[in-house]
């Protein structure tokens, strides 16, 4: 291109130069195997105003092509493997193994009692301690979970929602003990309660006090932990529950709108808290639809933030997201096929411009992933990054007629759904009257009907079946670990300063009964080794429980 469009010249000389300065680790000559440089950015010969409005440049509004000017040429996505099981010490061993294998960020899975605010010795916890994630009862467990892991250097994602404030407080308290201040913490806490009411179910409190807790986290992190992502607004579970690609975009962004408006109503500054919002999407097997979905979501959110909320800075408009491959797509039949499924899904996430990625393991339809299976899942990301060539060019599929048409149609369908939610009174009203749940259930039913009639083929399930005889190793949690966890919890309770514990819980209850921010009282309770169940018990007493 001899005569460059001024916008292209400006992008190349401005943001691209800054991006390369920020990310020297990937500064290299990108060449084809047979020679010749790989172009960093495919562009049409003539750039129109319509092109700039809809597709534009990477790192610039409307971010269709990615949130960074160089994308993976400047820095690869963060490779996370979602992990956690049994006790804190067992999970710590798995984290350190994954870091040794080249994982670049941690992602913590908590067990069901932790997710719904019960200690391991609560009657409701029996049989579930350490089963689908790690059991965390107090700061003592969190200290063990991150033993020998430098929190000032590692980015940690925590999948926790209703008790998110408590787990964030524990994480910050562990960092303090390592000599790491909250201003140095990097990572994300999921903290997305709205999708729990429609798609996942690990809620504790009613929606309105839950939104208060979320806003309090926004406020505390803005003041104390400015590098930490305060929420991961999650479409993943919505898609796993049966939603379509357009519904995943719409319901996720509608939840995001609710969080932004709630924070504004609480007096928080948009340009500060909006830049720490993160998102979490599903990567399903329809490769090109998924690529278009990520592009459409990024563009639609940028437009919502500009048009609806008048966000001015690029950081407050951009949608940054983590991706996980689709757990619901994994089959117990012919489990090696799952490696192929995960590869396609991971490729969709990378071509769609994800900022971090978890790849599921081939054996997860049978149980928790074994060490060998999780290593293969991590190697899948590493092979895509290092061998496939898709990370060598910024947004390599841009300009494809099919991709751009899919991007446009998904954005339009998602926007129409958001408009319907607005007309019905917003997300909370649509949760209360069952509209969103009904939309997901209908889509899920249609999908299952397609499988049962053979209209949709799932390889190894309703076609291309084989008789399987070989047994597959399955990771099993030792039932004795549950009783051991209860004993450790009893030791923590017996060894703490009981007066300090009682005072901290009383002060938390007093604050909860007012409009006071709650993060500092929760931090005080955590530092005094109050348990997760005790803190949630106080909040249940004040806020009630959602039924």
pLDDT for 301-315, tens place per residue? 999 999 999 999 999
Question: Residue 66 pLDDT > 50, yes or no?
Answer: yes
**Model pLDDT for residues 426-472, shown as the tens digit of each residue:** 999 999 999 999 999 999 999 999 999 999 999 999 999 998 767 88
413-427 pLDDT, tens per residue? 999 999 999 999 999
Task: Indicate if the alpha-carbon torsion angle 179, 182, 184, 190 is positive or negative.
Answer: positive
Please name which of 479, 477, 486 lies closest in space to residue 90, comparing C-alpha atoms.
Answer: 477
Residue 344: C-alpha distances to residues 34, 35, 284, 325, 384 (Å): 26, 28, 8, 9, 10
Distance CA 69, CA 14 (A): 10
What is the spatial distance between Cα 61 and Cα 55, in angstroms, rounded to a whole number? 9
Percent of all residues in the chain with a pLDDT value above 90, rounded to a whole number: 86
Q: Which residues contact 128 (CB under 8 A, 6 or more apart)?
A: 111, 112, 113
CATH architecture of the domain formed by 74-389: Alpha-Beta Barrel (3.20)
Count CA atoms within 13 Å of residue 434 on its CB side.
3
Q: Residue 41 pLDDT > 90, yes or no?
A: no
Q: How confident is the model over 467-490, as a mean pLDDT? A: 89
Give all strands (DSSP E) within 356-443, no chain letters.
Answer: 356-358
CA distance 540 to 166: 14
453 in Cβ contact with 445 (< 8 Å): no
Q: For residues 64 and 407, is the Cβ–Cβ distance under 8 A?
A: yes
Instruction: Give the residue, 192 or 48, on which the prediction is more confident.
Output: 192
Whole-number pLDDT of residue 476: 86
DSSP string, 122-140: SGGGTTTTTSSSB---SHH
Query: Is residue 2 pLDDT above 60, yes or no?
Result: no
The burial of 497, by beta-carbon neighbours within 10 Å (0-12 exposed, 13-18 middle, 19 or more buried), is given as: exposed
Are the C-beta atoms of residues 53 and 290 closer than 8 Å to each other?
no
Q: pLDDT over 70 for what percent of the chain?
A: 98
Instruction: Please report the pLDDT score of residue 408 as a whole number.
Output: 97
pLDDT surpasses 90 at 32? no
- Three-point CA angle 212, 216, 222, nearest 5°: 145
Q: What is the pLDDT of residue 188?
A: 96
Residue spans of the domains in the chain: they are 74-389
pLDDT at 178: 97
Q: Which residue has the higher pLDDT, 164 or 1?
A: 164
Please give the pLDDT value at position 161: 97
DSSP 269: -
> Do the Cβ atoms of 199 and 440 come closer than 8 Å?
yes
pLDDT at 31: 81
DSSP 425-462: T-HHHHHHTTHHHHHHHHHHHHHHHHHHHTSS--BTTT
For residues 103-119, give the mean pLDDT: 96
User: What Å distances lie between residue 317 and 54, 299, 301, 306, 351, CA to CA?
Assistant: 15, 9, 7, 7, 21
Question: What is residue 1's predicted lDDT score, i.e. its pLDDT?
Answer: 41
3 and 46 Cβ atoms separated by less than 8 Å: no
Residues in the chain: 547
Cα–Cα dist 130/140, whole Å: 16
Q: What is the pLDDT of residues 330-374, one digit of tens each?
A: 999 999 999 999 999 999 999 999 999 999 999 999 998 999 999
pLDDT at 23 exceeding the cut of 80: no
- Predicted model pTM: 0.94
Q: What is the pLDDT of residue 547?
A: 86
- The model's pLDDT over 371-413, given as tens digits with 9 standing for 90+, comes to 999 999 999 999 999 999 999 989 999 989 999 999 999 999 9
* Structure confidence at residue 89 (pLDDT): 96
Task: Work out the angle at residue 240's Cα, subtended by the Cα atoms of residues 234 and 242, and round it to the nearest 5 degrees.
Answer: 115
Residue 27 has a pLDDT of 66
């Amino acid at each position: 291109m001899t005569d460059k469009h001024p916008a292209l010249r400006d992008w190349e000389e401005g943001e691209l130069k800054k991006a390369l300065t920020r990310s020297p680790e990937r500064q290299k000559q990108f060449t084809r195997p047979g020679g010749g440089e790989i172009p960093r950015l495919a562009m049409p010969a003539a750039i129109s105003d319509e092109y700039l409005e809809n597709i534009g440049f990477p790192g610039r509004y409307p971010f269709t092509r990615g949130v960074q000017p160089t994308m993976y040429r400047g820095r690869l996505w963060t490779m996370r493997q979602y992990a956690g099981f049994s006790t804190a010490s067992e999970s710590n061993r798995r984290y350190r193994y994954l870091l040794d294998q080249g994982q670049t960020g941690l992602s913590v899975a908590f067990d069901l009692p932790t997710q719904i605010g019960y200690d391991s010795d609560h009657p409701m916890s029996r049989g579930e301690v350490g089963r689908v994630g790690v059991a965390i009862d107090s700061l003592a467990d969190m200290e063990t979970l991150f033993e020998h892991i430098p929190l000032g250097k590692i980015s940690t994602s925590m999948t926790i929602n209703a008790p998110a404030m408590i787990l964030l407080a524990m994480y910050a308290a562990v960092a303090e003990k390592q000599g790491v201040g909250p201003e140095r913490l990097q990572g994300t806490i999921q903290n997305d309660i709205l999708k729990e009411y429609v798609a996942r179910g690990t809620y504790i409190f009613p929606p309105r006090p839950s939104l208060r807790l979320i806003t309090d986290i926004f406020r505390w992190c803005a003041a104390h932990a400015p590098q930490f992502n305060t929420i991961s607004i999650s479409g993943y579970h919505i898609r796993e529950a049966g939603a379509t690609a357009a519904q995943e975009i719409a319901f996720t962004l509608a939840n995001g709108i609710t969080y932004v408006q709630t924070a504004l109503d609480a007096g928080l500054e948009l340009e500060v808290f909006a830049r720490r919002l993160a998102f979490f999407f599903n990567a399903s097997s329809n490769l090109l639809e998924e690529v278009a979905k990520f592009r459409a979501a990024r563009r639609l959110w940028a437009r919502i933030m500009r048009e609806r909320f008048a966000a001015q800075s690029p950081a407050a408009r951009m949608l940054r997201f983590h991706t996980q491959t689709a757990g619901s797509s994994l089959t117990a039949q012919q489990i090696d096929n799952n490696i192929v499924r995960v590869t396609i899904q991971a490729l969709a996430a990378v071509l769609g411009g994800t900022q971090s990625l978890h790849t599921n393991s081939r054996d997860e339809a049978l149980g928790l992933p074994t060490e060998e299976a999780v290593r293969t899942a991590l190697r899948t990301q590493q092979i895509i990054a290092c061998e496939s060539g898709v990370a060598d060019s910024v947004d390599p599929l841009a300009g494809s007629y099919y991709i751009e048409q899919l991007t446009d149609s998904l954005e339009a369908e998602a926007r129409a759904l958001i408009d319907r939610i607005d007309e019905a009174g917003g997300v909370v009203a649509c949760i209360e009257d069952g509209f969103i749940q009904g939309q997901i259930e209908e889509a899920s039913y249609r999908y299952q009907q397609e499988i049962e009639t053979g209209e949709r083929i799932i390889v190894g399930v309703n076609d291309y079946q084989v008789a399987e005889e070989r047994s597959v190793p399955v990771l099993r949690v030792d039932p004795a670990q549950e009783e051991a966890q209860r004993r450790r919890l009893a030791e923590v309770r017996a060894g703490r300063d009981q007066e300090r514990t009682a005072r901290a819980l009383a002060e938390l209850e007093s604050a909860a009964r007012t409009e006071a921010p709650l993060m500092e009282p929760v931090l005080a309770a955590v530092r005094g080794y109050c348990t997760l169940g005790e803190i949630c018990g106080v909040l249940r007493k004040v806020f009630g429980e959602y039924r």
